[in-house]
Every structure is written in structure tokens, then in C-alpha cells.
A and B are shown apart, each in its own frame.
Chain A
């Protein structure tokens, strides 16, 4: 038995000696944390596609400070405990110069709590909950790319307010996660302020097998607009069952769940007339960057390259990850150093066009000093394509409103 304990001690020793394995070549190490497995793997995989495209270009253009950029990619399984382990490893063991990645707000909050003591420069595309801005928005090392929930909801509220004839009754259903709860709270605030009547305000379990009970209840409340806050899987099922139940209010609206290409691929004609909101879609038409044309061609060309490489339409998670990584390496090059203050200054000075839009870090009104993308686009699926409708000046078509009944299409 004593032998056994000795073996155990040896195991612990071995593990602790899994120290930094000597790197032969001189590389610039950047840490990336993504949910590559687990129930949110679909997002992590989308982010990785953007990152893979970016790293190729970065190194083809000479890397950072004349060194090859080496990405150390960690899978956090969508688990906030693992994100802490991954971040600790990247910072203290791999000694990366900076971090990028992220997806959900909860993971991001756990990440921020753990990283506050190290203050690693982080160009982070994850999380939209205003709690992040409130708790960590003033941290100088932290740069957020993702729009905040009020950015989404302010736009939705104004969009709905501008519809003629003006709808009045809105039914809201939201998934029982931090994403759903956060967005729905904010939505409620803006919508009630504008005088809309919220006839339903219900949470639903994400991953439900059946929404017929919820939809029956909402149908009974006779809303003008059914607005749900959920992701891809639930959105597919909700749409299908709305059709089954013959539930056709004047508008069916979701946040991001209906933006995924699979949504329209799966539903085909049934996706018609569904509206959603996103920070970017492949229909965007941003021009090429003047400063960095090799990284940031015009949107059309970027999308074409993506499609050629991956044989699929991009969702916004790919370009946002692409831009996050390139922003970081561009800033390292501009600063001429990885020293924290210089790098922060270079990041703060970022000001360029990208396929995703104008990339610059702003102070926002929720407490964050470094936030970039916040312009939202509201779209409607029309004939299998996403047609942007809002803001008005970028509209590419007219809103199909009210929704025709399901059997009359």
C-alpha cells in the first residue's frame, strides 16, 4: 500500500513538472479560449474558422514584431470552471502575451474575475451582458468587441416603434440562461417605455423538446408581435411549431437564433418573414480598409474567400473573431512591443475599416471604456436571403408585414 502512495506522489510530481516545454523557435504566443466542445460547440467552431483564416494572413504578412505568431488554443467546453483553468494556464504557464476569445457572458464573467489579478491584455469577443460593463468595464487591459444587450434591444424597440400601423401587443419569451434573462430584462425596459403592452413575459427552458404548450399560451394572448430570445436550436423548433399550431401574429421576431445559415437551410420556406437582429451579416457592404487592405478587404471579398475556404456562409462569430485577433496583432506591431502600456495605447488608437464595420474602441454608457461593435442590423428572411431592414439608411428591402397566415403562402 505504501508503494501505492509513492506512485501517487510520483504522478503529482510528474504533473507539476509539465512545465513550459522549451520552445525551440522564437514565436509570439497568443492565447485563445473557445467553447470547442460541449453544447455551445457550434459557436466555438464558428469562431475558430475566423481565427484560422486570420492567423494564416497574419503570419503570411510577417507575424508580429517579425516573429511568427503561435496561437495556443484552449477549449473551455462552455464551462466557467474550465475557462478559469485555461486562462490560468495560458497566462502563468504558457506566458502568452495577450488573450482573445470568449463566448457567453457567464464564462466571460468567470474569466474576468480570475484574470483581474493578472491584468492580461485581452481582446475579447465574448459576452453581451451589461453586467460585464458594470463590473469590469473600467479595466484598462480588457477590450470588448461584442455589442451589449442594450444595443440589441434599443434598436429592436425603435424598429418596432417605427412600424406602420404601429403594433401594440408584444409577447416575449426568453431562454432560461443569462443571455435570455439579460436581454429580456433590457427589452422589457425599452419596450414598456415606448408604450408597448407586454402581454406575455415567459422564460423557457433552452433545449426544450416541445414548445407547443408555450406557443398555445402565447397564441391565446393574441399578441401583434411574438418576440423570442433564443438560439439556433430553439428557434428552429419554435418556428416549426408556430406553423403547426397555426400561430401567425403580425410579426415573428427573434434575436440571434435566426441568423445562423442553418436556420434558413433547415426551414426553407418556413423561415420566410422571420425577423432577427445581428451585429453583422454576409450581406453587409463595408469597403476595404485603407490602412490594412491585406487583412481587411471589402466585405463581399472577405465573404467570398470564407465561402471558398469553408463551403458555408459565415455567421457573425467568424468575422468578429477574425477582427479580434488581427486587431491584437496589428496593435502589437504598431506599438513595436508587447509591453502592456504600449499595447493598450496601440489598441486604444485602433481606427480602421474592417469587413465587419468600423473598428474602434469607444466608451459606452454602461460603464465600459473599451467597446467596439455596437451598430446592429435588423433583417428579415425573404426568399431564402437575409434582407437588412434597419437602420433605415442601410435597408435593402421592405419589411413584409404583417406576416401572412401560414397556409396562405
Chain B
């Protein structure tokens, strides 16, 4: 077995896993705090990517500089969506929430389709296809930057959860909402900020994907189901779980694609099968926040 190739396959898997993680971490936060099925998360990614694209093509703003802008914009949007659409149904049965967020998704996707047309668009900057070479390994600069952003934001979020008042409140609510309320936690505010933060991370994911690949109005659909699977696999509310789950999926896809004949076609099916197997062994997810 060629070790250099194996290293490349692993590297590819980690980079893909990093991209998934960026999207899954935001979702697991929302899911953990509110137990809400949030299909709109895919649309925060889409909106983040279009924001980046327009800032780039109309004003020449470099995509990585758009990152803070996208994060703020999507945070505000997330808070608004939570306040006006999600909060009213927060105690409703989960299925109602599915229907609601699905309705929101239809609205947002089709507005985007009408306003911005269905074309597949991407951006090219001076650095966009540079690849970094580490010995026999060749990895895209933007992918590495995407991984760095994912790590940075995840670490930031984890620190916030551990050190800030808000973070403690989030953890309390994730563990036991009733108890947290009894202890005087302002659950409403926790929810809004959590949704905002989660959406902001989705938006960051959008910035990265618009650089790394391409975007179009339905791009959210490519990610949201996988993100859900990762969130459940990792255990809701568990950031570590989302990260590990993302890596498992990314690595499985990479390994299957490379080493299995016609593996590229099988990859997704196999990674879903792996997911189910893990859930059989750990039915509540890898790191279920007890």
C-alpha cells in the first residue's frame, strides 16, 4: 500500500470533515439548546455564500474578509428567525417544527431562485486554487483555510460555552430546560442567541463553500441532511460529537472513494451505513450530553 497515497486520502478526508464540521457544529448548538429541527440551517449557508459572492463581484471584497460581515449578518438573521418563527413553536411537537422550518426553506430557496437565478456560480481570486505541498501531499489552500476557520470558530464556541455566562446558561438549558428555567435562566434569550450563533456559523460555512466549491440557490440541500445525520451521530448539543462525527463521515467517504472500485458512487451510501451502525452501538449518539 502506497503510504503517500494513503496520507493524501486521509488528508482529503480531514479537510472534507472540517467543512462538514463547520456546518454541523452550528446545527448541534441549535439542536442541543432548543431541540428544534432546523432545516433553515442549510439556507443560512446559502445566504452566507451569496453574500460573499455579491460583496466580491460588486465591491471587490475578498471572500475571507467577508467572513466577519457574513457572521454578523447571519447572526442577526438567525435571531430574527428564532424570535418570529421558531419561538412560537418551541414547545410544539417536533413534527410541527419540521413542517415550519421546511416551509421557511421553500420560501427562502425560491426567493433566491427568482432573485438571483439558478446559475451555478463560483469565485476565483489570486489565491483560490493555490495548492500547498507538504512532501507528497497536495492540498488546496482554500480548503486548508476553510479547515482553519472551522477549527477557529469551533474552539471559540467551545470556549464561549465553558467560560461565559451565556455559555453556562446554554449548557444548563441543553441538559435540562425545566431545571434551568427554575434556576432563573432566561431561556428565551439563550435560545435567540444560540440560534443566532448557530446561523452565524452556517453563514461562515457558506463563505467557505463559496470559495471552495460553488453555490446556487439549492446548495443548502447538499449539506443539511448530512449535517443532521452528523448531529444525531455525535449526540445533540455535543460539539465534540459533531466534530468527531464530521471526521468519521469525511474519512469514510475519502477512503471508500479511493480504495473501493467505483467507490465514488458508493461513498455516500457507505458513510450512511456506517452512521447507522454507530447509532446501533451508541443509540443516543457518540457523546450524548448526559
Binding site for B on A (CB under 8 A): 37-42, 44-45, 173, 176, 201-205, 207-210, 212-214, 216-217, 220, 231-233, 236-237, 240-241, 243-246, 260, 262, 265-270, 406
Contacts and interface: CB of A to CB of B under 8 A. Distances in A.
B123 interface: yes
B124 A217 contact: no
Given A209-B222, A266-B214, A216 B8 contact: yes
B215 to A, nearest CB: 9
B138 A266 contact: no
B265 A176 contact: yes
A152 B113 CA distance: 31
28 contacts: A39-B221, A41-B217, A42-B117, A42-B118, A45-B118, A201-B262, A203-B264, A207-B222, A209-B19, A212-B143, A213-B13, A213-B263, A214-B264, A216-B5, A217-B257, A232-B120, A233-B120, A233-B213, A233-B214, A240-B213, A244-B138, A260-B120, A262-B121, A266-B123, A268-B124, A269-B124, A270-B129, A406-B131
What is the interface of chain A mostly: helix, strand, loop, or mixed? helix
A205 B267 contact: yes
A240 B128 contact: yes
B27 to A, nearest CB: 16
Contacts of A204: 264-265
Contacts of A213: 9, 12-13, 253-254, 257-258, 263-264, 267
Given A237-B213, A244-B143, A266 B257 contact: no
B44 interface: no
Contacts of B9: 213, 216
A208 B117 CA distance: 21
Contacts of B24: none
Contacts of B19: 209-210
A213 B15 CA distance: 11
Nearest to B131: A244
B119 interface: yes
Contacts of A237: 122, 213-214
B167 interface: no
Given A245-B131, A266-B214, 17 more contacts: A41-B118, A45-B117, A202-B262, A203-B264, A209-B222, A210-B19, A210-B253, A212-B143, A213-B267, A214-B257, A216-B9, A231-B120, A240-B122, A262-B121, A266-B124, A270-B124, A406-B131
B121 A266 contact: yes
Nearest to A207: B222
Interface in B128-184: 128-131, 133, 138-143
A265 B119 CA distance: 12
Residue of A40, A210, A268 with most partner-chain B CB within 10 A? A210
Given A212-B15, A213-B253, A268-B124, A240 B118 contact: no
Nearest to B253: A213
A244 B12 CA distance: 11
Contacts of B209: 209
B264 A205 contact: yes
Nearest to A268: B124
Nearest to A42: B118
Contact of B119 (A176, A205, A262): A262
Contacts of B12: 210, 212-213, 216
Given A37-B110, A266-B214, A220 B5 contact: yes
A243 B130 CA distance: 8
Contacts of B221: 39
Given A213-B253, A244-B140, A262 B120 contact: yes
Contact of A209 (B16, B110, B122): B16
A265 B53 CA distance: 13
Interface string B218-240: 10011100000000000000000
Contacts of B129: 240, 243-244, 270, 406
B72 to A, nearest CB: 25
A41 B216 CA distance: 10
A173 B268 CA distance: 16
A228 to B, nearest CB: 11
Contacts of A231: 120
Given A232-B120, A236-B213, A270-B129, A244 B139 contact: yes
A214 B213 CA distance: 15
Interface in B188-231: 209, 212-214, 216-218, 221-223
A204 B143 CA distance: 20
A202 B263 contact: yes
Contacts of B268: 205
Residue of B124, B139, B212 with most partner-chain A CB within 10 A? B124
A265 B124 CA distance: 9
The 4 closest A-B pairs by CB, nearest first: A244-B140, A41-B118, A213-B257, A266-B122
B113 A236 contact: no
B104 to A, nearest CB: 16
Contacts of A173: 264
A212 B124 contact: no
B124 A203 contact: no
Interface string B12-32: 110110010000000000000
Nearest to B8: A216
Contacts of A245: 131, 138, 140
Residue of B120, B131, B141 with most partner-chain A CB within 10 A? B120
Given A209-B16, A244-B140, A236 B267 contact: no
B156 to A, nearest CB: 24
Contact of A243 (B131, B213, B222): B131
B144 to A, nearest CB: 10
Residue of B8, B214, B217 with most partner-chain A CB within 10 A? B214
A216 B141 CA distance: 16
